[in-house]
Amino acid sequence: MLKLIKEVMRVGDATVPYPFVKVDVAPGFRGKPEYDPVQCIACAACVIACPPNALSMETNLESGTRTWSIFYGRCIFCARCEEVCPTGAIRLGDDFELASFSRDDLTVRADFRLAACSECGAYFASAKSLDRVLSLLDQAGLPPESADDRKALLHMCPECRRKTDLPRVKPIVQEAFDGRL
Ligand code: SF4
Ligand code: SF4
């Protein structure tokens, strides 16, 4: 018995007195997804990728708003959202203590404004995602006339874009079609 006590004292504590002390997690640990609404452009890529539908998005075309939300109660910490997010707005962190008495404590929401079509006025896309596409277009270094045309189209809803672009595209398609006959 004395030998056993000596061995226990030699080895020391084999466990951590959690939750009274903080536990360090391993590198690459997949904990609670941390969300930054400032970086988010409401593109919905994470919502489409999330396997258990922990992420959702509601678009209100009357008020021109879109609400992004995450319900941690459904999250399986797979990191698909982090993989697909184009802006780094959502990343899995170290936090794993998610127990709560209230469903609301497990939900985070953010509201975004929608862009209105320059032709018909209908809301059609998140204003922040449109701004991002426009800035990527600027970085692409296109000739000014070509860039201006594309920017004008990007400010339109898909329906108005089709109608506006049809006269330009029609002869090109027709020519390609004729060439194949
Ligand atoms: S970690 Fe996986 S389950 Fe959790 S919100 Fe992201 S995609 Fe959804
Ligand atoms: S993928 Fe990123 S930018 Fe797009 S809605 Fe999700 S968190 Fe926001």
pLDDT digits (tens, 9 = 90+) for 139-165: 988 888 888 989 999 999 999 999 998
pLDDT digits (tens, 9 = 90+) for 10-66: 988 888 889 899 888 999 999 999 999 999 999 999 999 999 999 999 999 999 999
**68: Cβ below 6 Å to ligand 2?**
yes
- Bridge partners of 66, per DSSP, are 59, 112
The identity of residue 155, as a single letter, is H
CA 131–ligand 1 middle distance (angstroms):
26
- Cβ contacts of 92-98, under 8 Å, gap ≥ 24: 92/30, 92/31, 92/32, 92/33, 92/34, 93/31, 93/32, 93/33, 93/34, 94/25, 94/29, 94/31, 95/31, 95/32, 95/34, 96/25, 96/29, 96/31, 96/32, 97/19, 98/32, 98/72
Whole-prediction pTM value?
0.84
Which of 34, 85, 113, 133 best tests ligand 2's pocket when mutated (most atoms within 8 Å of CB)? Answer: 85
